[in-house]
């Protein structure tokens, strides 16, 4: 660089050079043969430079801080809270009044559920976006967003926002132009003049919403087109084979980063690339695009990280965290869907062996520059993502086991403690997903006796201890820390009534949050303690390797964290019965003295056995 460059320009130039090998080979392979490639390249360079130029000074300082502390998101002080802004605090500005609650709970990361401007009416909970540059007017403005993100950051809380990559609302400006016949914008989407290709694609596609949005294409006679709509009719899939789409989205990302987002939750990424004869999910190009998007952000807004939402099987999920070809260069976070599914599976069966098998055989002991977003509940349904092979490893039949779990959590299986509801039953495949709040699925709604209430409370705390002790960022889903139940009121809201996921998207019950006794108060206190103990336990840093141990007691999951400062052994009892873990087995795994970092107390063996109470959990050191 010339001697007259400002330090700012020097830094940018260094960032460009560092990430160039991660970026350009991907783009060359994806778009090199596109007629507009050269001008796209120039435009992208210009967009990156403009994004950097517009980046506020305080965020550039944050960039430097995170250069120095690249593990900031892997540390045990990280704990997330996920909420709909309107349901939690009314508006964006309302969030400012709730910072105290978040701090008290021990939160250092908030996920604002979709907050960009959605289409009017049913917007799939905000995932049908008509303007990526504006905040949902019902919640506030971009100016409010910037102010709130600054205020949160000053209090040590990072902000995650949703960015939907697979589709826009059909009311988005690009879609409106496409509908009006502009060929440049028609090329932003996947539009067909005849149903022939759509029919061919359908042969191998799956249906995401078979109940209320069957099929993957929508015919619009008024424009004479069949449009690719994987999700709902109003969500038009973007054509990522067009470099202009890539460029537009980079601009959106840099803008959100410069407004103060720390984490972008990239929605429904698996679906971004289409290939005839496949399910059109997780195709290799998806990972090339995601690596290239990551590289763009590392150049122009490096403090920002990416959370990739891919709710798929373990083998298919890990590449989103860079495993394989894109090691260290793709998502920094991805949802640990298997951990969530296996938690519910182990609770129903009172047996942690399938969970241990899946966690132990499919997941590496550590990841490069990445970690999991761990969760038990979120705004979506639970799909029983357990492969036939994994079920067979435990001598179970895959379809039968999945059907059992659906019946159990729907509450129809004899003896089930759960009170959930079915979501998107697929008659053709027998697939039945489940909605319901953590507390309702854990038994609180059906509990009639004090023992049943106690079991539900302990199941809820077991789940929170598991995600806090696992490694990664535990995400608390709003209301779960208060054991809030199902919200049947959604049936009275016309835009929601068709979608049972609204059963577990309640409005925050602030009265419960201030209660000093009762179930909510107990769960709240328990969750706070778990997060506080996590913060105090350095060995839970996500970069330390993790091993799953076969535990001699079937209902107990044993997770070992190999921290250089000392090994931690997490034990989680999934049954309502006491479990005796042999002292010899503990010693074989290096535990000589008994200190439980979770309860911050010493543990003693009786008859050379560690007695774990019903749903008990310990982090032994």
Annotated catalytic residues are: 267, 309
Using the minimum distance from each CB to ligand GLC, give the nearer residue, 281 or 560: 281
- Residue closer to ligand GLC by CB (options 106, 479) is 479
> Least distance from C-beta 209 to ligand GLC, angstroms?
8
* Structure-block tokens of residue 505: 């998207």
Q: What angle do CA 356, 550, 473 make, to 5 degrees?
A: 45
Q: Over the Cα atoms of the chain, what is R_g?
A: 24
Does 127 participate in binding ligand GLC (rule CB under 6 A)?
yes
Task: List the one residue out of 58, 54, 44 whose CA is nearest residue 16.
Answer: 44
* CB 211 to ligand GLC: min, Å: 13
DSSP 1: -
Nearer to ligand GLC, 312 or 391 (CB): 312
Candidate segments 84-92, 124-132, 348-356, 483-491, binder of ligand GLC by CB under 6 A: 124-132
The nearer residue to ligand GLC, 298 or 336, going by C-beta atoms, is 336
- Least distance (Å) between residue 472 CB and ligand GLC: 18
Among 86, 122, 124, 576, which residue interacts with ligand GLC (rule: CB under 6 A)? 124
| Token pair in block for residue 348 | 């129903």
Query: CB of 248: closest distance to ligand GLC in angstroms?
Result: 18
Q: Show the site string, 297-316: x = touches ligand GLC by CB under 6 A, - = not.
A: ------------x-------
Q: Is there binding between residue 268 and ligand GLC (CB under 6 A)? A: yes
Number of residues that bind ligand GLC (CB under 6 A): 10
DSSP 120-162: SS--GGGTSEEEEEEE-TTT--HHHHHHHHHHHHHTT-EEEEE
User: Cα dihedral angle (534, 330, 389, 230), rounded to 10 degrees?
Assistant: 110
Report in angstroms how near the CB of residue 475 gets to ligand GLC at its nearest: 13
Measured between alpha carbons, how far is 202 from 216 in angstroms, rounded to an integer?
7
End-to-end alpha carbon distance in the chain: 52
Q: In the complex with ligand GLC, which residue's Cβ is closer, 127 or 375?
A: 127
Binder to ligand GLC among 84, 188, 231, 572 (CB under 6 A)?
231
CB of 271 to ligand GLC, least distance (A): 9
Q: Toward ligand GLC, which CB reaches closer, 236 or 417? A: 236
Is residue 320 a contact point for ligand GLC (CB under 6 A)? no
Cβ distance to ligand GLC smaller for residue 22 or 431 = 431
With CA atoms as reference, report the closest residue to 232 among 289, 164, 283. Answer: 164
Q: How far is the CB of 478 from ligand GLC (least distance, A)?
A: 15
Q: Please list the helix, strand and coil fractions of the chain in percent, rounded to the nearest 5, in that order.
A: 45, 20, 40
Among the candidate windows 38-46, 119-127, 179-187, 217-225, which touches ligand GLC by CB under 6 A?
119-127
173 backbone dihedrals φ, ψ, rounded to 5°: -50, -40
Indicate whether 125 belongs to the interface with ligand GLC (CB under 6 A).
yes
Of 123-131, 389-397, 483-491, 522-530, the window that binds ligand GLC (rule: CB under 6 A) is 123-131
- Judged by beta carbon, residue 227 or residue 268, the one nearer ligand GLC is 268
Question: What does the per-residue mask of binding to ligand GLC show for 135-174, with x meaning CB under 6 A?
Answer: -----------------------------x----------
Using the rule CB under 6 A, give the single segment among 82-90, 120-128, 168-176, 253-261 that binds ligand GLC: 120-128
Nearest approach in angstroms of CB 420 to ligand GLC is 17
Alpha-carbon distance of 254 to 261, in angstroms, equals 10
| DSSP string over 28-88 | HHHHTTSTTHHHHHHHHHHHHHHHHHHS-HHHHHHHHHHHH-TTGGGSTT--EEEE-HHHH
Residue 208 Cβ, how far from ligand GLC at the closest point, in Å? 7
What track of x and - describes contact with ligand GLC for positions 361 through 390 (by CB under 6 A)?
Answer: ------------------xx----------
Minimum gap (Å) between residue 162 Cβ and ligand GLC: 8
- Kindly report the three-state secondary structure assignment for every residue of 221-279: CCCCEEEECCCCCCEEEECCCCHHHHHHHHHHHHHHHHHCCCEEEEECHHHCCCCCCCC
Residue where the block lists tokens 């290799």: 284
Residue 171: helix, strand or coil by DSSP? Answer: coil
Distance set, CA 302 to CA 291, 298, 462, 517, 527 (Å): 14, 4, 36, 45, 32
Shorter beta-carbon distance to ligand GLC: residue 63 or 124? 124
Comparison of 238 and 288: residue with beta carbon closer to ligand GLC? 238
Instruction: Measure CA 485 to chain center.
Output: 22
Residue nearest to ligand GLC (CB): 127
Q: Is residue 519 close enough to count as binding ligand GLC by CB under 6 A?
A: no
Q: Are 106 and 94 in contact (CB under 8 A)?
A: no
Site for ligand GLC in 84-103 (CB under 6 A): none
Q: Is the separation of the CB atoms in 463 and 438 below 8 Å?
A: yes
Q: Residue 485: which region, alpha, beta or left (left: phi > 0; alpha: psi -120 to 50)?
A: beta
Stretch that binds ligand GLC, among 5-13, 122-130, 323-331, 573-581 (CB under 6 A): 122-130
Where on the chain is the footprint of ligand GLC (CB under 6 A)?
124-125, 127, 164, 231, 267-268, 309, 379-380
């Amino acid at each position: 660089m010339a001697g007259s460059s400002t330090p700012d320009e020097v830094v940018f130039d260094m960032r460009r050079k560092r990430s160039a090998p991660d970026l350009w080979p991907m783009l060359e392979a994806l778009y090199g043969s596109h007629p507009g490639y050269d001008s796209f390249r120039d435009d992208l360079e210009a967009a990156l430079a403009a994004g950097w130029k517009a980046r506020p000074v305080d965020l550039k300082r944050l960039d430097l801080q995170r250069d120095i502390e690249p593990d900031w998101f892997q540390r045990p002080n990280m704990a997330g809270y996920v909420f709909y802004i309107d349901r939690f605090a009314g508006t964006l500005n309302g969030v400012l009044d709730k910072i105290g609650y978040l701090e008290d709970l021990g939160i250092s990361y908030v996920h604002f559920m979709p907050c960009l401007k959605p289409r009017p009416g049913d917007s799939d909970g905000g995932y049908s976006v008509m303007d990526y540059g504006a905040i949902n007017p019902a919640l506030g403005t971009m100016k409010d967003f910037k102010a709130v993100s600054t205020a949160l950051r000053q209090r040590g809380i990072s902000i995650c926002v949703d960015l939907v990559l697979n589709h826009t609302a059909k009311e988005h400006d690009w879609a409106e132009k496409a509908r009006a016949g502009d060929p440049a914008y028609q090329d932003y989407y996947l539009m067909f003049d005849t149903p022939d290709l759509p029919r061919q694609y359908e042969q191998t596609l799956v249906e995401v919403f078979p109940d209320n949005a069957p099929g993957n294409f929508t015919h619009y006679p008024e424009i004479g087109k069949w449009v690719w709509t994987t999700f709902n009719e109003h969500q038009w899939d973007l054509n990522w084979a067009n470099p202009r789409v890539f460029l537009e989205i980079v601009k959106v990302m840099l803008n959100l980063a410069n407004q103060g987002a720390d984490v972008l939750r990239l929605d429904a990424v698996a679906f971004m690339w289409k290939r005839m004869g496949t399910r059109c999910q997780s195709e290799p190009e998806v990972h090339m695009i995601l690596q290239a998007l990551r590289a763009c952000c590392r150049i122009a807004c490096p403090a920002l990280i990416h959370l990739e939402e891919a709710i798929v099987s373990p083998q298919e999920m890990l590449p989103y965290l860079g495993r394989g070809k894109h090691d260290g260069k793709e998502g920094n976070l991805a949802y640990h869907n298997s951990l969530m599914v296996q938690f519910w599976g182990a609770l129903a069966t009172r047996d942690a062996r399938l969970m241990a098998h899946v966690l132990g055989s499919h997941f590496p002991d550590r990841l490069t520059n990445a970690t999991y977003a761990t969760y038990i509940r979120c705004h979506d349904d639970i799909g029983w993502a357990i492969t036939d092979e994994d079920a067979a490893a435990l001598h179970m039949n895959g379809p039968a086991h999945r059907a059992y779990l659906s019946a159990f959590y729907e509450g129809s299986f004899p003896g089930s403690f759960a009170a959930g509801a079915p979501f998107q039953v697929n008659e053709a495949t027998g697939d039945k997903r489940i909605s319901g709040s953590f507390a309702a699925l854990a038994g609180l709604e059906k509990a009639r006796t004090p023992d049943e209430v106690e079991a539900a409370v302990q199941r809820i705390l077991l789940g929170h201890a598991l995600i806090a002790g696992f490694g990664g960022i535990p995400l608390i889903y709003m209301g779960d820390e208060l054991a809030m139940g199902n919200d049947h009121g959604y049936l009275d809201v016309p835009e929601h009534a068709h979608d049972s996921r609204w059963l577990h998207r309640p409005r925050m019950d602030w009265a419960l949050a201030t209660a000093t006794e009762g179930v909510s108060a107990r769960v709240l206190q328990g969750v706070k303690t778990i997060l506080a103990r996590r913060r105090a336990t350095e060995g839970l840093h996500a970069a330390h390797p993790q091993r799953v141990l076969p535990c001699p007691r079937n209902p107990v999951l044993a997770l070992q964290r190999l921290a250089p400062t000392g090994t931690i052994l997490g034990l989680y009892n999934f049954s309502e019965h006491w479990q005796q873990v042999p002292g010899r087995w503990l010693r074989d795994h290096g535990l000589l003295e008994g200190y439980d970092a979770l309860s911050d107390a010493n543990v003693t063996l009786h008859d050379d056995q560690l007695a774990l109470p019903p749903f008990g959990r310990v982090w032994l050191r």
